[in-house]
Structure 1
Amino acid sequence: MALILVTGASSGLGHNTAKALADNGHDVVIHVRNSARLTDTDDTARWKGVVTGDLAKLDEIRGVARQASRFGRFDAVIHNAGVLHSPEVVTVNTVAPYMLTALMDKPARLIYLSSSMHRTGSTDLRRLTSGTASYDDSKLWVTTFALAVASRWEGTSSHAVDPGWVPTRMGGAGAPT
């Protein structure tokens, strides 16, 4: 089966994705911000491994890449980690997937979680440098990045995926089931 890294896998979509992949026989390495985020001890045995690091911090993104590289070349990397309302929205949602992609061995498949909210994102990169970028902007930028990788990295399949509005901690209880 495949060796797969899932970022932001302590809860929500990332956790559910990692669980489903492991249940189907894949070797899954999960990323969590810190080991205290591993709350379900029954899950620990199902993972091939765990990498830790805060994707809002550039040095820790580099550390996540180093930790992940110890497992070898991944068949797939699912860039799921994300934040909705935070000063770190650009770093976590856009810069971290970019850096991890650049720092790790090229996988066969890259999957970047996006959002339909990318449609209202801005292409004005001054928002990036001024610290005024929004979630919508970050999702437009990561979607654009996924498409750029798809057109430039022969042998690697790259996708931006919109999971829809889901009832997770980030999506909220009001999301449809």
Structure 2
Amino acid sequence: MARILITGSTDGLGLMAARLLVHDGHGVTLHARNETRADDAREALPEAEAVLVGDLTTIEGMRSVADQANERDRYDAIIHNAAVGYREPSRIETADGLSHVFAVNVLAPYLLTALITPPDRLVYLSSGMHRGGDPKLDDLQWRTRNWDGSRAYADSKLLDVVLAFAVARRWPDVLSNALEPGWVPTKMGGPGAPDDLSLGAVTQVWLATSQDPAATVTGGYFHHQEPCFAHPAARSPEVQDGLLDACAELTGVPLPSHAT
């Protein structure tokens, strides 16, 4: 049995993955942004071992989630599922003065990765939209560009792949991969999404727990358990190091040089 933490798992793909993992006999820790959502998660999946509570829009909330995770001992795998979508009509600024989309989609998985005791496996959720993302790092907070919700989301999902590949390069003893679940009819994807919802969480579970040689790799990008094409910039050490440096500057926490 593996112990797995899934961020953003009160509904949607995160909860679906949790249910699959519990069905397979694994121990699952859920995550909710507040106590009300935590109660919803406990009701939705009473078999869960625990629910961590913390708002990933703030650095303080990110740190709180990391502290709670470390108090529960080491996880075998962490699925970084929490995200906000592409429908924000204007730039929303967090309490830390950051773009809401960047804070939740990029900075949160970075800081949790840096602070939580490294597991054996890390899984980062991206999107097919990442291929339209801009790898430039000079305006991560969208302070000088005219706001475009779809582009900001695409950029953030590209940076999730960059982060996964950067961790794979920096931490060779940890299996770090990214994936796109497909355009599925979740709250984020919308009711008109054409892909099969039942397959949306399968790859997350596979990467987190399977002993299949195809799953026990690192620095991969997947769709429905198959390797697929990722934006070439995600494999650039220069882009990877630039993102890690930017996130370290924002949080005051550098990614450890090796997993310990």
Same structural fold, with TM-score higher than 0.5 when normalized by the shorter chain: yes
Whole-angstrom distance in 1 between the partners of 2:69 and 2:123: 16
In the alignment, which residue of structure 2 is the partner of 1:10?
Answer: 10
Q: What SS does structure 2 have at the residue aligned with 1:134?
A: helix
Query: What percentage of aligned pairs have identical amino acids?
Result: 47
Separation (CA, whole Å) in 1 of partners of 2:141 and 2:189: 27
The residue type paired with residue 147 of structure 1 is F
Q: Equivalents in 1 of 2:116, 2:84: separation in Å?
A: 22
Distance 1:40 1:139 in 2: 25
**In structure 1, which of residues 93, 116, 119 is the aligned counterpart of residue 105 of structure 2?**
93
What is the one-letter code of the residue matched to 1:115?
S
**More moved, 79-88 vs 31-40:** 31-40
Flag the structure with larger Rg: 2
| Shift in CA distance, 40/157, structure 1 to aligned 2, threshold 3 Å | closer
Normalised by the length of structure 2, the TM-score is 0.65
Tell me if the contact between 2:29 and 2:48 (Cα under 8 Å) persists in the aligned partners: yes
Pairs within 5 Å for 1:19-98:
19-37=19-37, 38-39=39-40, 41-85=42-86, 86=88, 87=92, 88-98=100-110
Q: Deviations over 1:104-150 (max 9, x none)?
A: 10100000000011111111212214445700000111101101111
State the Cα distance separating 1:45 from its structure 2 match: 2.5
Counterparts in 2 of 1:91 and 1:45: CA distance versus 1, 3 Å: same
Root mean square deviation, CA, Å: 1.4
Structure 2 unaligned runs (5+)? 93-99, 146-150, 197-260
Aligned-partner Cα distance in 2 for 1:72–1:168: 32
CA positional deviation for 1:69? 0.9
Aligned-partner SS, 1:112: strand
Of the structure 1 ranges 78-87 and 46-55, higher mean CA displacement relative to structure 2 is found in: 78-87
Shift of 1:79: 0.1
Deviation of 1:89 after TM superposition, in Å, equals 0.6
Q: TM-score, structure 1 length as denominator? A: 0.94
Of 91, 110, 113 in structure 1, the residue corresponding to residue 125 of structure 2 is 113
Do residues 142 (structure 1) and 154 (structure 2) align? Answer: no
Structure 1: stretches of 5+ with no match in the other structure: none
* Number of residue pairs the alignment of both structures matches: 177
Take 1:105 and 1:30, find their aligned partners in 2: how far apart are those partners? 17
